[in-house]
Structure 1
Amino acid sequence: MSNSTETNRSVVIERSFPHPPEKLWRALTESALLAQWLMKNDFSPEVGKSFQFRAEPVANWNGVIDCEVLAIEPQRKLSYTWGSMGLGSVVLFTLTPEEGGTHLRMEQSGFREDQEAAFRGAQYGWQKFMGQLEQVLAGSAT
Structure 2
Amino acid sequence: MTDLATLDAYGVLTEPATLTIQRLLPGPIERVWAYLTESELRRQWLAAGHMEMTLGAPFEFVWRNDELSNPPGQRPAGFAEEHRMESRITELDPPRKLAITWGSTGGVSFELEPQGGEVLLTVIHRRLPDRATMLNVSAGWHMHLDILAARMAGEEPEAFWDGWARLKSEYDRRLPA
TM-score class, shorter-chain normalisation, is 0.7 to 0.9
1:77 to 79, 97, 106: 97
Does residue 130 of structure 1 match 2:145? yes
Find the partner of 1:47 among 40, 49, 55.
Answer: 55
| 8 Å CA contact 2:96, 2:111 repeated in 1 | yes
The 3 A distance-change label for structure 1 pair 103 and 56 is: closer
Q: Which moved more, 1:25-34 or 1:41-50?
A: 41-50
Work out the percentage of aligned pairs sharing the same amino acid.
28
- Residue 101 (structure 1) shift: 1.1
> What SS does structure 2 have at the residue aligned with 1:48?
coil
Q: Secondary structure at the match of 1:47?
A: coil
Structure 1: segments with no counterpart, 5+ residues: none
CA RMSD of aligned residues (A): 2.5
Mapped contact 1:30–1:44 kept (Cα < 8 A): no
**Secondary structure at 1:66's aligned position in 2?**
strand
**What is the correspondence of 1:110-129 to structure 2 with a 5 Å cutoff?**
110-112=127-129, 115-129=130-144
Residues in 1 aligned to 2:112 and 2:24: alpha-carbon distance in whole angstroms: 10
What residue number does 2:46 align with? 38
The DSSP-based 3-state class of the residue aligned with 1:36 is: coil
Query: Residue 60 of structure 1: CA displacement?
Result: 7.5
Report the AA paired with residue 46 of structure 1. T
Runs of 4+ that moved beyond 6 A: none
Question: Aligned residues, how many?
Answer: 130
Output the amino acid matched with 1:41. Answer: G
Q: Which runs of 5+ in 2 are unaligned?
A: 1-12, 66-76, 155-177
| Greater CA drift, 36-45 or 57-66 | 57-66
Q: Quickly say closer, same or farther: Cα 1:18–1:56, change in 2 above 3 A.
A: closer
1:88 to 105, 108, 112: 105
TM-score (norm 1): 0.80
Whether 2:25 is the aligned partner of 1:17: answer yes
8 Å CA contact retained: 1:55, 1:63: yes
